[in-house]
Amino acid sequence: MTTQVRGVQLARLLGQWHALPGRRRSPDYAALAGAVRGLLADGRLPLGVRLPAERELAEALRISRTTVTAAYRELRETGHLASRRGAGSWTMLPGTHRVASTGLWTPLDDRDMIDLGVAALSAPAQLVPAARAAAEDLPRYLGGAGYHPTGIIELREAVARGYTERGLPTSPEQIMVTSGTQHALDLVLRLALSPGGGVLVESPTYPNALAALAARRARITTHGLSDDGWDADLLLGSIRQTRPKLAYLIPEFHNPTGHLMAADLRERLVGAAHAAGTDLVVDESFVDLPLDGTPLPPPVAVFDRHSRVISIGGMSKPYWGGLRIGWVRASAPQVQRLAAARVGVDMASPVLDQLVAVHLLDQAPAIVTARRAQLAAQRDALVATLAERLPDWRVTVPCGGVTLWAELDGPISSALARAAEEVGVRLAPGPRFGLDGTLERFLRLPFTLPAAELVEAVGRLAAVRYDLDRAGRPQWREPSVIA
Ligand SMILES: Cc1ncc(COP(=O)(O)O)c(C=O)c1O
């Protein structure tokens, strides 16, 4: 099935396509082709969609048709576009690309890239001993078929204990183990949302959550976060007014901004959701990672009396993403329904990986304490080097999580990402975290790499940022509204 992207849609996605490094040196058609390649690489423009006809795009961008014709020709030559006379042109990628850990497309030979597109730590030293201990435990499970749709009991007990210790009494029957938090979200959406259902999300938000929502054809509305995080009146007001079927929120060290939702808003949020008939899906991916001794408010589900809150979380951020262990906490009947749904997807999670998770959770205090210290030091190094090398960028220092949300000195995020790729730094530009090509003034910077790499990456970014300036800053325009 081919979908068609219309001229106005592509123009909106292209946003500041003029703001390219070396703009003075490269003609318009090359800048336009480069911008389309950038959209393809970061997933905002899917593969296999039909691009608008040349004349339509030229009108939407208010440029000459010759420029679009030349840009399309270049895209065909670089393997990013396939055309058939009379039938149109489709997006594609040259065979020299693969999907990177971020879900973004990357050239096959990018091994030396400093990857700031991914916000996750490498594995802790305790992982290999935990895997050995898990292998020792495995014989206990080998007498059965090995399918445990809700997860093995010892892991469900350990996860339930974690919630209880956070002040939310939880039984193992309320836990379902999944293959990561993303899988948990996908399953919850399958169960709780019919196609076309209304969903409220924060803006910015986690891009793969947007992808999961798009797969369910959700009708998305957004709550814009400010420098201070959520605006209580606006958030509760939009739940009351739009009565979405579901709201997906990240209250603990929100990805990408790092904000932490206060306890009183959590309580009011649950009340408003109940009154509006809205289910709350609360993503607790970063709950283990407060920094600087920041105290944690109670889990959102503490305020839930009506099974309105479904909490999802996992091992990826405090422990290791490669484990692919996550979970859902919901009412016991909801867990049973989710388990029935997951049987039609992946049957169950691997027993061995779950046993590794049990051993890691046994050592949670030591592992998590070390992670927090490491992240705080890396965050401080990143903030210091940004202040020195890119002093015009505005950064709010987060008190937890793994990411900074920097406000740039212009709507240049996508252009900067394309330029950074040339000097070996991968970025996830601001628009990936929103809808419709907005957030060009923002950039997410994770502090999950060692400090020396962060400093090196920022040095390279400062150099290409300077290049963008020379490339014709006065030509930036605010996105024009095309009705
Ligand atoms: C908010 C949020 N949810 C979910 C995920 C996916 O986590 P997992 O690796 O557990 O699937 C991430 C990973 O970055 C995340 O930031």
**What is the secondary structure of 289-308 as a DSSP string?**
-B-TTPPPPPPGGGG-SSS-
* 5-19, 91-105, 297-311, 347-361: least confident range: 91-105
- Indicate the length of the chain as a whole number: 483
Give the residue-averaged pLDDT of 345-362.
97
Average pLDDT, the chain: 91
- 417 closest CA partner among 36, 22, 38, 33: 38
Whether residue 222 is predicted with pLDDT greater than 80 in this model: the reply is yes
For 140-179, the DSSP string reads HHHTS----TT--HHHHHHHHHHHHHTT----GGGEEEES
Residue 278 falls in which region: left (phi positive, over 0), alpha (psi -120 to 50) or beta: beta
Write the pLDDT tens digit of every residue in 386-407.
999 999 999 999 999 999 999 9
255 lines ligand 1 (CB under 6 A): yes
What pTM, to 2 d.p., does this model score? 0.85
Going by pLDDT thresholds of 50, 70 and 90, the confidence category of residue 476 is very low
Whether residue 370 is predicted with pLDDT greater than 50 in this model: the reply is yes
Measure the CA angle with vertex 94, ends 93 and 97; round to 5°: 80
In eight-state DSSP terms, residue 194 is -
Burial call 169-208: b when 16+ CB within 10 Å, e when fewer: ebebebbbbbbbbbbbbbbbbbbbbeeebbbbbbbbbbbb
What CA–CA distance (Å, rounded) separates 181 from 329?
11
Based on the number of CB atoms within 10 Å of its own CB, is 476 exposed (0-12), middle (13-18) or buried (19 or more)? middle
User: Residue 201 in contact with residue 250, Cβ under 8 Å?
Assistant: no
Going by pLDDT thresholds of 50, 70 and 90, the confidence category of residue 471 is low
Ligand 1 midpoint to CA 249 (Å) = 12
Ligand 1 midpoint to CA 27 (Å) = 40
| CA-proximal residue: ligand 1, atom 7 (nearest) | 181
- Please give the number of the atom of ligand 1 that sits closest to the Cα of 250: 1
Q: What is the pLDDT of residue 42?
A: 74
443: three-class secondary structure by DSSP: strand
178 lines ligand 1 (CB under 6 A): no
